[in-house]
Structure 1
Amino acid sequence: MTTYSPAEAAAQSGFSIDTLRYYEREGILPRIERSTGGRRMYSDGDLWMLGFLRCLRDTGMSIEQLRRYGELSRDEATLPERAALLDEHAASIREKIAELDATLARVEEKADWYRKELRRTGDATT
């Protein structure tokens, strides 16, 4: 089994070492195995989980929701609850995308207006 040091896990996940410790302490991550010397040893499974947590965090999932997901993920009987939590988060992401699409349309509309004004005035250098 391949294991990774905290520094390697941090580099691969994009989280800081402090965040990795925090996620473990808060129950977002399962308990990380330790070497005989007491150093954390991350597995491929831990890195996969960190990658998924990065995805959830980057899409705005709160620490409270991450904690709930982490708790649920340690019990196979919680598949329906995990699916519901992720469905709720997906709906939130879709809502944010719709808001961003509307904002993008406004920005593009204004940029188009400026380009038309520049063509009208003959000043295409600005």
Structure 2
Amino acid sequence: MNIKEASARTGLSSSTIRYYEKEALIPPIDRNENGIREIDDRIIRRINFVKIMRAAGMTIEALKKYIDLFDSEKNHKQEELKLLKEQKLIMEEKRDDLQAAINHLDYKIKHFDDHMLQTEAELNQLEKEHYEK
């Protein structure tokens, strides 16, 4: 498939796919005799992996390191696994921070009327005290 079809299939722009190729996040894409990229399922799988990891917050640098290890002819399975576990911990910390913020907003939404009434009463009292001076 060409890059436009790959873009539709992955939900990424053609420029993002070209960027991933330039940064070696995906293997070099073969081109046909007219110079048009011919993207196969192997490339699509890699694009989707990179897309998911980027959406989860994995840095380009960490992705490059992992992909370099993965694509190496030497066996780096333990290093790959270590890097994936580290990234998972980072993502879990971000998830926990996000969940704490969501919980706080849920509380504020649930108690919005109570909070607003109390805040208005406090402001009215402060205003009253200010004018009595």
- Over the matched positions of the two proteins, sequence identity in percent amounts to 31
Aligned residue in 1 for 2:102: 104
Query: Considering only aligned residues, what root-mean-square deviation do their CA atoms show, in Å?
Result: 1.9
1:68-83 correspondence runs (5 A)? 68-75=65-72, 77-83=75-81
Aligned residue in 2 for 1:51: 48
Per-residue CA deviation, residues 7-42 of structure 1 (Å, 9 max, x unaligned), is 111111222111111111111111111112221111
The structure whose RCO (Cα within 8 Å, separation 6+) is larger is: 1
Q: Counterpart of 2:93 in structure 1: which amino acid?
A: E
Paired with 1:87 and 1:49, the residues of 2 have a C-alpha distance of: 19
Length-normalised TM-score, structure 2:
0.78
Aligned length: 116
Decide whether the 8 Å contact of 1:28 with 1:68 is kept in 2.
no
Q: Counterpart of 1:39 in structure 2: which amino acid?
A: I
Q: Flag structure 2 segments of 5+ consecutive residues without an equivalent.
A: 117-133
Decide whether the 8 Å contact of 1:10 with 1:17 is kept in 2.
yes
**2:39 paired with 1:42:** yes
Three-state SS of the structure 1 residue aligned to 2:42 is: helix
Q: Counterpart of 1:49 in structure 2: which amino acid?
A: R
Query: 4+ residue stretches of structure 1 with deviation over 6 A?
Result: none
Paired with 1:20 and 1:78, the residues of 2 have a C-alpha distance of: 26
Match of 1:29 among 26, 29, 43: 26
Aligned in 2, Cα 1:117/1:71: closer, same or farther, shift over 3 Å?
Answer: closer
**2:69 paired with 1:64:** no
Q: CA deviation at 1:117?
A: 6.5
Q: CA deviation at 1:115?
A: 4.9
Decide whether the 8 Å contact of 1:28 with 1:69 is kept in 2.
no
